[in-house]
Amino acid sequence: MSTKRVLVTGGLGFIGSHTVVALQNEGFEVVIIDNLSNSSIDVLGGITQITGKTPEFENIDLREKAAVKNFFDKYPDIEDVIHFAASKAVGESVTNPLLYYENNLSTLVYLLHELNKKENSKFIFSSSCTVYGQADNLPITENAPVKKAESPYGNTKQIGEEIIQDTCKVNKSFKAISLRYFNPVGAHPTAEIGELPIGTPQNLIPFITQTAIGKRKELSVFGDDYPTKDGTAVRDYIHVMDLAEAHVHALKRLMNANEKDNYEVFNLGTGKGNSVLEVINSFEKVSGEKLPYKIVGRREGDITAAYADTTKANKELKWEANRSLDEALKSAWKWQLVVKKAEEEEN
């Protein structure tokens, strides 16, 4: 049980809010920084509903260097940070790269600058399997080569990891872990929090649930001519609560262990790959809804297949994903029904 306060940036976002719940469940005190650019203040109430504890919240834009410094002046005890705050839409990053380089990298530098003034700071970075591109071998281990990014978004994850690694090289008292997420999906089982995409969802699962609820006409399946079991692309869909709990394990590793390396990388996935058609079948089974979809051409930049080799995370983090795809899709559907009801009550 720890009462040390942990800073979670982007803590009102999809993965951030679920991680705050997991941290509070483990007895951590959490302070959230979020600028509400891609999240809602209502998420704070959702977290409180689940855990009975309201995290401290600061509405700060991490692009404001002075605001970052003022935060750490106000919270001098905080030396442990889990950093989610970033822009994450692959397509948007292609059309607006400077927004991504500023929002995802200058903010990281300002945070690291403040943490490096402290004796014993620890940092967890929200990275992505996108750094691997189309890996040559499956499942993907942490030793797989990082390939040239397909998008500025992916590039900010690669550069972000390098910035952290270089910082760890010169400051041995600074310990950091990059967590490379595969495909986070689902919602907390209470449906008090979940994914809240703004506008047309880019990701598969929110598009599926919005189609099933009638908000979208039909799902476009981007390609069925891939060299996979059924021709549609394969991904490793990990329940967001499994992912959230992995962050707690990673933080405990940074707090307790004295590894020889003060910088480590872990893949976070289930170790299983599912095709788009398999996801559709699973969703129809758990929701009882027939999903209208059509096969269209491939989406630019998509890879054929990616799923994690989870050996290192299982062993070193003493963590494994134990929730099924069915469970994740069922929680996503339950959350979508709650969102629809709330929208109807608002109108």
Q: Is 233 in the site for ligand WQD (CB under 6 A)?
A: yes
Q: Given strand 29-33, what is the order of strands in its sheet?
A: 56-58, 29-33, 5-9, 80-83, 122-128, 175-181, 263-268
Closer to ligand WQD by CB, 68 or 129: give it.
129
What residues contact residue 86 under an 8 Å CB cut-off, 6+ apart?
10, 103, 104, 107, 126, 156
Report, in Å, the least distance between residue 222 CB and ligand WQD.
Answer: 4
List, in sequence order, the alpha helices (H) in 171-289. Answer: 204-212, 240-256, 276-287
Q: Is 302 in the site for ligand WQD (CB under 6 A)?
A: yes
Cα Dmax for the chain: 57
Report, in Å, the least distance between residue 310 CB and ligand WQD.
Answer: 17
Closer to ligand WQD by CB, 77 or 326: give it.
326
Report, in Å, the least distance between residue 202 CB and ligand WQD.
Answer: 5
- The single residue among 30, 47, 85, 90 that binds ligand WQD, judged by CB under 6 A, is 90
Judge contact between 67 and 107, C-beta under 8 A. Answer: no
- The single residue among 2, 29, 106, 222 that binds ligand WQD, judged by CB under 6 A, is 222
Interacting stretch for ligand WQD, rule CB under 6 A, among 166-174, 214-222, 264-272, 308-316? 214-222
- Mask of contacts with ligand WQD, 44-73, x by CB under 6 A? ------------------------------
- The single residue among 85, 254, 276, 325 that binds ligand WQD, judged by CB under 6 A, is 276
Interacting stretch for ligand WQD, rule CB under 6 A, among 19-27, 216-224, 258-266, 335-343? 216-224
What pairs with residue 145 in β-bridges?
Answer: none
Q: Report the alpha-carbon distance of residue 128 to residue 90 in Å, rounded.
A: 12
| Residue 63: HSE in the Cβ half-sphere, 13 Å Cα cutoff | 11
Q: Is 307 in the site for ligand WQD (CB under 6 A)?
A: no
Closer to ligand WQD by CB, 221 or 250: give it.
221
Of 85, 30, 37, 39, which Cα lies nearest the Cα of 62?
85
293-322: burial string, b at 16+ Cβ within 10 Å, e else:
beeeeeeeeebebbbbbbebbeebbebebe
Report, in Å, the least distance between residue 288 CB and ligand WQD.
Answer: 21
Q: Is 228 in the site for ligand WQD (CB under 6 A)?
A: no
Catalytic residue among 153, 181, 237, 307: 153
Closer to ligand WQD by CB, 235 or 330: give it.
235
The residue type of 313 is: A
Q: Is 244 in the site for ligand WQD (CB under 6 A)?
A: no
In sequence order, what DSSP letters do the residues of 308-338 get, joined into one string?
B--HHHHHHS-------HHHHHHHHHHHHHH
Whether 153 is a known active-site residue: answer: yes
Q: Report the alpha-carbon distance of residue 207 to residue 68 in Å, rounded.
A: 35
Report, in Å, the least distance between residue 284 CB and ligand WQD.
Answer: 15
Q: Is 220 in the site for ligand WQD (CB under 6 A)?
A: yes
- The single residue among 183, 262, 267, 282 that binds ligand WQD, judged by CB under 6 A, is 183
| Residue 228: HSE in the Cβ half-sphere, 13 Å Cα cutoff | 22
Residues lying near ligand WQD in the complex (CB under 6 A): 88, 90, 128, 130, 183, 202-204, 207, 219-222, 233, 235, 276, 299, 302
Which positions are annotated as active-site residues? 153
